[in-house]
Each structure stands twice: as structure tokens, then as C-alpha cells.
A = this chain, B = another copy of it.
């Protein structure tokens, strides 16, 4: 494990510069705009696996003219561009995650928090899937997190 760089989930990270955000979008062939930069920054500094409304409500404070449709549009754009991944772990609500290494997600049914955990994905793929073109892998667990178990 890396001792030098702290990369724990749920913590805020140093805000990236506009320069860095713009470059990140360009790499993925997405033109920059105020809203897109804001939403990308949100995703990079929050690791809450946010819903559209979590993003919308927070950014609304700073930009009261923001439209919920813009958040939907932008996330769909990021999705197509390969910037984010969408989680179907919460009933009737899409959750988003900046695309990083493959990992599983655990959702606590009590507090609703979503945790990451490592998965050895080689162990997943069985012989039966020979001949299948795999584009996307998802591992979702549900239950109760340690904090909620203590109550």
C-alpha cells in the first residue's frame, strides 16, 4: 500500500486548478464550460458516490441559476466520454463515481452510505463467459456497515 499518498474515501481532496480540470476534460474530448468544470470538480473532491440531486443541491448554493437538467446532461456526457461510472446500487436513483480502478461497492441499508472494497476481478470471470465480450463489471453488496451494526 502507499504510505505517502492519502487516498481515503469520503474525504475531500485538494481542489484541482481550473487548468487541471480543463485538461482532464480535453483528454476525454469534452469541451470545457463553467458548469462542466464545476461538476467535474465536485466529483474529484467528493467521494460520496453522489446522486444527481446531491451534486445539484450543493452547486446550487454557489450558482443559483443552475438547472437540474444541466447536471443530468453533464453526467450523461461524462458517462459517454468515459469520465465517470454509474452505479445501480440505490433503488431508483443513479449514483456516480469518478472512473478509477475496478472495485466493489457496499451499500449500508441503514445509513445509506456506500463503501468501496477491493475485488480480485480475475477470480470473477468463470469459464462460462468465454466468448462473451465483457464491457462492464459491477459488484454490489448490501447489508449493514460496522457503525450501524453497533446500534
Contacts and interface: CB of A to CB of B under 8 A. Distances in A.
Interface of A: 88-89, 91, 104, 106, 109, 115, 117-120, 123-124, 126, 128-129, 131-146, 149
9 contacts: A88-B91, A106-B129, A106-B132, A123-B124, A133-B144, A134-B142, A136-B141, A137-B141, A138-B138
A144 B126 CA distance: 16
Contacts of A117: 126, 128-129
Number of chain copies forming the complex: 2
A140 B124 CA distance: 10
Contacts of A89: 88
Contacts of A141: 129, 132, 134, 136-138
